[in-house]
Chain A
Amino acid sequence: MGCAPDSDDVYLRPSVKTAAKLLVVGHFAVGKTTFVGTLSEIRPLRTEEVMTQAGALVDDLAGTRDKTTTTVAMDFGRLTINDSLVLYLFGAPGQRRFTKLWHDMTRGALGALVLADTRRLSHSFEVMGLLEELNLPYAVAVNDFEGAPVHSLDEVREALDLLDETPLVRCDARHPDSSTRALISLVEYLLSRKTELEHA
């Protein structure tokens, strides 16, 4: 399987031999679509729809009044990390009514990045619970919203009841450097787990 990819690949270098599927998850309105859009080197796939009155009772918009659309299916983007690794990012919708799609989307995924918002940390438990049920390793990135309360990462770790080994970082989903760092913390975690498993 050593054939070079097609010559129309602008970004994907022929040396890229490893692809990893990663999920970007988190509760409603935490910034998943922004995150995938910021990082993707190709035009991202977006499935945003205007939010309707029908969702007003279940989709809590507190603190995100400028939000007018929500992802109804998925986000997708691609990020080449280095000469040999390319990441495929799949963003899953945050609302519980999409859980079925979510299960399908975890197929083949190596791990997940959970985005969290300090204004509603407790909303992250549902998503983390689903990942644990599916046995999918994850890292957590606090997406810093302007005006959101700033807590130390230690406090966030405690509030989210994370394992010591679970990476926890801050990021700004609008900025490529900070978002890339969040993703790299997940990749490093997955690689360290893999090494541990191999040596176990």
Chain B
Amino acid sequence: MIEPTNNELGWMLDDVLKVPEARHAILLSADGMLRAHSAYIGRDDAERLAAGLSGLQSISRSTAEFCGPTESPWRQTLIEFGHGFVFLVAAGEGAYLAVSTGDEVDMESVTYRMHKLVDRLGKELTSPARLDTGSRA
């Protein structure tokens, strides 16, 4: 069993939204559970998105062979809509960071900020694989 998120790291995510046009940020664990969300997205929505983004990462990774035979780690998934973008990057072991933006965003500065955030948080952002599956730690 695990504890539901208390959004302790939420304030750190707000930092990445200083890029013009950036909207929301979500931190999730690889098993699809919400770890933290930025201030202006509700928890119910953030939980649903966290689950979906974990599936997106899984599916993204499964297409690696399409690039060629070498197995290298997945780094980022980018989704473009008419009205904006979603960026999904690795955030340490077992965690991912997602940011949504408007369509006029400077993509380079968003990914730069995301990676800086991931670096800065380092250890705090990881969800190591659980060893206690099926029982309380």
Contact = CB atoms under 8 A, between A and B. Distances in A.
Interface of A: 1-6, 8-12, 16-21, 42-45, 47, 73-74, 76, 78, 86, 88, 90, 100-101, 104-105, 107-111, 137, 190, 193-194, 197-198
Nearest to B4: A19
Interface string B36-73: 00000011100111011011101101100000000000
Q: Which of B29, B43, B130 lies at the interface centre, i.e. has the most chain A CB atoms within 10 A of its CB?
A: B43
Interface of B: 1-8, 29-33, 42-44, 47-49, 51-52, 54-56, 58-59, 61-62, 129-130, 133-136
Contact of B6 (A5, A20, A43): A5
Contact of A21 (B31, B44, B55, B58): B31
Given A73-B55, A100-B58, A42 B48 contact: yes
Nearest to B39: A6
Contacts of A197: 134-135
A8 B134 contact: no
A5 B48 contact: no
A9 B34 CA distance: 14
B2 A5 contact: no
Contacts of A107: 30-31, 129
Given A1-B8, A110-B1, A194-B134, A105 B43 contact: no
A86 B44 contact: no
Contacts of B59: 73, 101
